[in-house]
Chain A
Amino acid sequence: GENVEQHPSTLSVQEGDSAVIKCTYSDSASNYFPWYKQELGKGPQLIIDIRSNVGEKKDQRIAVTLNKTAKHFSLHITETQPEDSAVYFCAARADYFGNEKLTFGTGTRLTIIP
């Protein structure tokens, strides 16, 4: 089955600096890669996603890059703000019939230092 590894597990950055979180996946058939942000006491919230036919996607301060050859994808947050502090999860999904499920990374706790 799919295996997703996520690094680092914790990350502290100064407010205004950039943060980068990296994930690798094992199943070459995976074609959908979402990123979720989870704040304390809440469920994961989708912040950006990318499909395998695209190499990069950007939404304001957030961007995701995908390298299908190397089987890794990354989340980039620029000009970080205190409200960016949360746990971030990457995930991957391969659309095998009867096995369309998200496999999540282990999460990165991001702390923005004011």
Chain B
Amino acid sequence: KAGVTQTPRYLIKTRGQQVTLSCSPISGHRSVSWYQQTPGQGLQFLFEYFSETQRNKGNFPGRFSGRQFSNSRSEMNVSTLELGDSALYLCASSLESSTDTQYFGPGTRLTVL
């Protein structure tokens, strides 16, 4: 069974731009969670989607948003990029809910210049 896939793997943007990242969960998994990983803050929860609805949300500003499609694929968007948004963005999928075991993708490395 294929694992969680994320595209693109690397991205370079400039301040003020916006970016969209994509995540395809493991086949059959319906819950998708997003995390931001930085050297200073570690792994921080952004939000979780299930059945095309945001079910849980972390403490990030409204510039960070996401959505989920009927096939469980998910996208996250960051608008008005800031230098501090440079990070590894990780997607994790689980079977039914975030209380099930989460499996992570390889991440998208975003660099904001």
Contacts and interface: CB of A to CB of B under 8 A. Distances in A.
B58 A44 contact: no
A43 B56 contact: no
20 contacts: A34-B102, A36-B104, A42-B107, A43-B90, A43-B92, A43-B106, A46-B101, A49-B101, A91-B43, A95-B99, A100-B55, A100-B97, A101-B56, A101-B98, A102-B33, A102-B43, A102-B45, A102-B102, A103-B45, A104-B43
Interface of B: 4, 33, 42-45, 48, 55-56, 58, 90, 92, 97-99, 101-107
Nearest to B40: A106
Nearest to B55: A98
Interface of A: 32, 34, 36, 41-46, 49, 89, 91, 93, 95, 98-107
A89 B107 CA distance: 16
Contacts of A45: 104
B54 to A, nearest CB: 10
